[in-house]
Each structure stands twice: as structure tokens, then as C-alpha cells.
Structure 1
């Protein structure tokens, strides 16, 4: 007897009215499963309901809606995520919106998430941007250096650790076979900053700096 999971539901059999009613119910216990159920629907059917989720008062519902819009990608979803990362009142939602925007491609999202990082001092948003961008295959060394230096100027040590870790990745690129000579200045700047951070007051920053220099 097979233990394999059942196949996903036929999108044509999904009761969209019931899902919408649950999303608009004002009860996160009903709204959240309905939003999760949208993953089995094509974007043209899921996105209108995800956009309704973004209008709800519970931040967890708006946050989950942002995550869904990062998966079900449309121009309407992109526009809503940009609005959310700039203006939503809850940092959890702004952080999830930033992460979802990067899912559309870093080349497109970079100006928006960099703007958000500069304008929004909330540590959760900043950590989300750092995490989404740090190892993204489209990330450019000069952009990563700019982001890391902004992070190092933050008052929150968790954000500063994230910036230090990015510097470590940049420093280690200098020894890779694929390193671009044009990025040599970025690598050297990263190493210089890491050497200075070995005397930082926060032991986590020091540890990240040492790790970056030794890698």
C-alpha cells in the first residue's frame, strides 16, 4: 500500500467563494488555511484573493498574502508588494514583502529593496533584505558592499552581524577562480572593513569578521 501523498486538488474544483469568505472573515484561523490553499491555483485565480488578503487587519494574514504574491507572480502582485514594503504599518509585513519582491528577480527588485533598507530602520525589514540578497545569484559585488556598509551603520547588532557576513562573502570571492578583476577594489574594501571589525564591541560581529577573513 503506497504512502505517497495525494495529488493536489483539481483547481477547477476549488470553491473560490468559500476561500474568499474565509480570507475576508477577520479570523486569522480561517484566513490562513484559505491563503495556503491558493498555492494549488494558477496565478490568475490566486492573485485577486491574495490581494484581498493584503487588505485585512491581521498582520499575519497580510504577511502570508505577501508570501503568496512572491510565488504567484503578476504585475498586480508586484505593485501591491511595492506598496506594502513602503507603507504597511507592520514590520513583519514589510519584511515579507521585501523578501517576496526579490523572488521576482534581484535585478528588478534591487532599487526597491535598497530604498526600503535606507528608509526603514526596523531591524526585521533590514534583516529580511540582507538574507534575501546575500547569496542571490544576481547580486553584484558593488551592490552587496553598499548594503553591507549601510548595515554596519545600524544601531542594531543583529543587522550589523548580517552586514559583516556579507563582507565575509565578498572577501572570500577574491580567492575564487571566477573572481572578476574589476571587483578587486570591492574585495579589498571588504577585507579592510573586516579587519577593523575585529575590535568591535559586539562579540558576534567580531566572530563574523574573523570568519570572513579566515575563509
Structure 2
């Protein structure tokens, strides 16, 4: 029987997984990448990095997701490069989501910069969602991000911004030191009731009622 450290539960050893990843066939590569969740980071990350070098965007996207689960410095550097330079918005969006898993303190400057520089709605929505899910994030950071989002031309991004404003109203109102942030978020939500996109209006109303 193969050693458990060198063989995944599905029966593929790291070399077989590597061959599947570089095969150029997503139907082989994706199951192999999923198996890497069961390996230790020191085994999984080099193979995930290899996945990021492959041509099919879906292979690169799943590799980014894996690097968000198997975290180390090599993964951080690779995700940063993908966020800044991958040609496919799906990959950049997945990289942003994975980077957020490294923690707000480290990821915030990079994700904020990317939000401002990358005008693809998918990337911006991924950043909004990833940061909104962070339980301990400073409401003032969320307010800054939401203000950028609600000025976006894309309605989906503005919806995400409105939803974050609603969270700021709820979270900041409970803290005496954040009353100004809560009021600023509330005023922004009031303004969004005039938005041309009915989805944004609905999100604004929900934020004010919450």
C-alpha cells in the first residue's frame, strides 16, 4: 500500500496529479486539482503553482482557489501576480478571493489597489464579496470600498457597494467611535434610492431598514 503522505485518497500520487495538471485537458486537470485539498501545503502548493501556468483559464482559476486553502508565501506571491497580470477576469477574481483568505490586514492594500485599477465587474464584485465576508474588518475600510463601488458604471458592482453600506450602518452604529461612518453610509444609501438600477434601489432600501 502506498504511503498516505504521497498518495491522495483517490489513488493518484503527486506525479500522476502533475501529469493530469499539465495534460492540457481540463477534464483531467480539474479533478486532480481538487484532490490537492487533501494534501499538505508543502505538497499541494507546487502543483497548484503549476496549475497557474496552464493555458485553460478554468485550470488557473481552480489553482487560485486552491492557493487560498493551502496558504504559504509562494502562494501569496503567485496570487498577487495573477491578480495583477492574468489576462482572464475569472482568474483575477478567484485570485482576489483567495488573497482575502490571508487576512484583511495583509490583503486590504492589494485588494483596494486592484479594485481601483481593474474595471472588470467580475473582479470588483469578487473583491466586494470577499471583504464583506471578513467578520473583523474595520467598518471604515468597508465604507471606503463601498464609496468606490457605488460610483461604478456597472449595476452589479453598485449593488455590492450598497450591500456593504448596509453592513457599515449596522456594524458602525453599535460603536461610539464609528457613528460618523454609520451616518455617512446611511446618507449614501439614501442617495442610492434614486439609482437607475432597481436592484441598487432595493439593496439601498434593505440597508436602511436593516
Q: By the TM > 0.5 criterion, same fold?
A: yes
What displacement does 1:174 show?
Answer: 4.7
Structure 2 partner of 1:4: none
Which position in structure 2 is the counterpart of 1:180? Answer: 175
Does structure 2 retain, via aligned residues, the 8 Å contact 1:107–1:138?
Answer: no
Whole-Å Cα distance in 2 between the matches of residues 174 and 78 of structure 1? 31
SS of equivalent residue, structure 2 residue 81: helix
CA distances 1:88-146 after superposition (whole Å, capped 9, x unpaired): 00000000000000111111100111111000010000000010111312311111011
Shift of 1:173: 2.6
C-alpha distance in 2, partners of 1:105/1:172? 22
Kept in 2, the 8 Å contact 1:172–1:213? The answer is: no
Partner of 2:61: 63
Q: How does 1:49-88 map to 2 (within 5 A)?
A: 49-88=47-86
Match of 1:196? 191
SS in 1 for 2:158: helix
Q: Which residue of 1 aligns with 2:6?
A: 12
Preserved CA contact (<8 Å) 1:11 1:40: no
2:120 maps to which residue? 122
**CA deviation digits over 1:53-106, x for unaligned, max 9?**
000000000000000000000100000000000000000000000000011111
Question: Mean Cα displacement is larger for which, 64-73 or 137-146?
Answer: 137-146
Measured at CA, do residues 77 and 174 of structure 1 come closer, stay the same or move farther in structure 2, by a change above 3 Å? closer
* Pairwise CA RMSD: 1.2
Q: 5+ unaligned residues in a row in structure 1: which ranges? A: 1-8
SS of residue matched to 1:26: coil
In the other structure, the counterpart of 2:37 is 39
Q: Which moved more, 1:59-68 or 1:204-213?
A: 204-213
Count of residues in correspondence between the two structures: 204
In 2, the alpha carbon distance for the partners of 1:124 and 1:197 equals 21
| 4+ residue segments displaced more than 6 Å | none
How far apart in 1 are the matches of 2:63 and 2:172? 40
Q: Distance in 1 between matches of 2:62 and 2:46?
A: 14
* Cα distance in 2, alignment partners of residues 159 and 120 from structure 1: 12
List aligned pairs for 1:85-164, cutoff 5 A: 85-164=83-162
C-alpha distance after superposition, 1:12-34 (max 9, x if no partner): 33411111011001111111111
